[in-house]
Every structure is written in C-alpha cells, then in structure tokens.
Structure 1
C-alpha cells in the first residue's frame, strides 16, 4: 500500500477526487438549469456524472494494474531465418508466375492500344 502514497500516486488520487467533484458539480448545475426550463440541460445532467464514473473506473483500473504488476509487453525480438529458408524464400519470389506474366502482358497491350487512340 505504500506505493500508492508516493507523490505521483497522491497526485493521481487528488486529480481523481477533483475531477469527480467537478463533474458531479457540473451535473448538479445542469440539473438546476434543466429544472428552470432549459431542455438541452437534461442531456448534460446525465452526461457529467457518466464522466465522473469513467474517472473512477480508470482510477480503479490503474490501481489494479499496479497491484498486479502489469508491465508493457516486451518488444518482439525477431530471430534471423536460417540460410536455407532465406534462399527458398528468395527463389520463390524470383520465380515468374505464369498467370501474373500473362496479366502483365494484357495490361501492356491495353496501354499500347490506349496510347494509339490518344
């Protein structure tokens, strides 16, 4: 529990309390305005408390993550492929696909025809 009493955590606790108080106060203010006949304020009457609930949910999540020791995922270290695998990959990429070659010839013919008309 001491880790939640560090200056950084105390600041987060204070921020959460201030935000919740402000959001609930804004909700009450909008409720008063809605009671006075401002119909648009009815939506804000419910919106501001939802913001306060969001702050509480995120505050609890941060505390739970800290207690569980959740760390960011480590970067993936890619291992180099064996030389034989690399050669096979290069060979497959260099082979000409007959269907692709036919399609490229078709596109070249269409391009030549369109230039002849232009």
Structure 2
C-alpha cells in the first residue's frame, strides 16, 4: 500500500514539473508547448483523483452518505443471482445494482416465400454433398446456356 502512495506522489510531482517545463518552453517561443503546459497538470489531477478514490476505498468511506432513517424504512431487496466471471462490488462502493432487462423473444417467422433460385442452389449443394468427387460441370440439374 505504501508503494501506491509513493507512486502517486512521484507521478503528481513529475507531471507538475513537466507542466512547468512546458510553460518555460512555451514562453521561449514554442507554441506547441502551450498545449502540453495545460495537459501535464491535468494528468497530475487525474492521478490525484485516482489516489483519493483508492484511499477512500481502503478506508471504507461510502461514496454517497445516505440518511440512515431512509435506509431503515426501505423494503429489503432480494440479492441478485451470481454471474460467472464477474465480481460483485463491495457495498457502499458507489456502484448501484444493474437493471435487469428481460430478453426479447424473436418474432415468429412465417413460412418463407418460395424462391426458385434458392431452391435450385440448395439442390446443387445437396448434389455436391452426395457426390464429393464430382465436378460442377457434371451437375445433371438445370443448366443455363447462352442466350
């Protein structure tokens, strides 16, 4: 755990130092460095945010403080069934339960309209399957000639 704190402090300090370095370069005439001068402090802020969240989670402080009276009057909720390959978040970690939506059943499909081209192709495939060594030119079915 100490390594995470050291890493966070080093990263925040390094990112702020890089931002200050970019300000110095931008003041010297490098226009592109103005973008980096704002980018590095944003990185430092992001690391600080993640560090804060890690500390809060380690201490067990809830993300949202709720009214204890409201929790006592709420009706109990049945636990969700476990899902393979996922971990349930700890209570009070700021996550809410997922909304379960029933799957829609596909609409029933009626009989397909007759398609003579598809029927001919399926007959050809069945013939090829029945005659694995045959060539396509040997197919005895309907042949289309020129014209």
Q: Mark yes or no: TM-score above 0.5.
A: yes
Give, in whole Å, the separation in 2 of the partners of 1:35 and 1:64.
39
Cα pair distance change 1:67/1:75, threshold 3 Å: farther
Give, in whole Å, the separation in 1 of the partners of 2:81 and 2:59.
23
* 2:53 corresponds to 1:47: no
Give, in whole Å, the separation in 1 of the partners of 2:25 and 2:8.
26
Cα pair distance change 1:40/1:67, threshold 3 Å: same
Cα pair distance change 1:117/1:69, threshold 3 Å: farther
**Structure with more helix by fraction:** 1
Deviations 1:18-56 (A, max 9, x none): 000110010011000000000000000000000000000
- Local SS of the residue matching 2:18: helix
> Which residue of 48, 70, 82 corresponds with 1:76?
82
Q: Which runs of 5+ in 1 are unaligned?
A: 1-8, 79-96
RCO comparison, higher one (Cα < 8 Å, 6+) = 1
- Local SS of the residue matching 2:17: helix
Q: Which runs of 5+ in 2 are unaligned?
A: 63-79, 85-107, 125-141
* 2:10 corresponds to 1:11: no
* Higher Rg: 2
Aligned length: 85
> TM-score, normalised on structure 2?
0.48
Cα RMSD for the two superposed structures:
3.0
* 2:119 corresponds to 1:112: yes
User: Structure 1 residue runs of 4+, over 6 Å off?
Assistant: none
Cα pair distance change 1:75/1:12, threshold 3 Å: farther
